[in-house]
Structure 1
Amino acid sequence: MVPPLMVDVVCHWVSQAAAEKLLTWQTQELVERQRLAAEWLQGFTLSGRSHSSNVWLTLPEGSRAGELCDRLLQRGVKVSSAEPFCVGSTPAPQAIRLCIGAAADRSELVQALSIVAACLTERPLAPATL
């Protein structure tokens, strides 16, 4: 069940025509965040819709999504590999999903994107030794 307070808030917004304003603002914000992602990750393969809160980044040849996810997490940026989004036995592509809508504001997003860009240009981590 949806919490009654949330229902009341949404009903109020719709009755005050605030929903359309909020939707317009959100769409414009996501378009700008997609632009920032494209700017910071220029030269890499990105896919996503212009007004989506996510963007997919296909990794360069020889890169491993799991390794990059770990490296980013160590630096405070949490991303998802493609593995949880795959069905059946088809191997997951070496790609990561960036949730650009999760950042509190554009400056936080730019900080995260700069970390992603830096990690993409670093050499792969050395293999673990036993």
Structure 2
Amino acid sequence: MVLFPEHRYYGESVPFGSREEAYKNASTLSYLTAEQALADFAVLITDLKRNLSAQACPVVLFGGSYGGMLAAWMRLKYPHVAIGALASSAPILQFEDIVPPETFYNLVSNDFKRESTKWSCAINQNFSTCAGN
């Protein structure tokens, strides 16, 4: 079985009955956190396994980007729920107090520099000034 659970506040998973109500203030937005998403997913998986008589079935989490971050964090926070996690393109350490904010930009810029000075110039300046490259 493959599940793609929806994060609260996205798609059809809008709490408090409507988008207007859900996004109204800090109190109603207090459930829009990664921690809450992890707790929601842990409950979902546990309940599904119990309801489908599949308690012994292993669970492997996967995701890309933010979904990958959630997969990795869930494996750390709820190791009893999943036996593994695959986090693709997930900047799990991309926080100001751990990694400088410009790190991602520098890595991507260096990739473009290796491929083409024209595109590197376009990223760092107005493209029209790079036309000669």
Give TM-score, length-normalised by structure 2: 0.23
> Per chain length, whose mean CA-contact separation is higher, i.e. which structure has more relative contact order (CA < 8 Å, sep 6+)?
1
Work out which of the two has the higher radius of gyration on C-alpha atoms and give 1 or 2. Answer: 2
Give TM-score, length-normalised by structure 1: 0.23
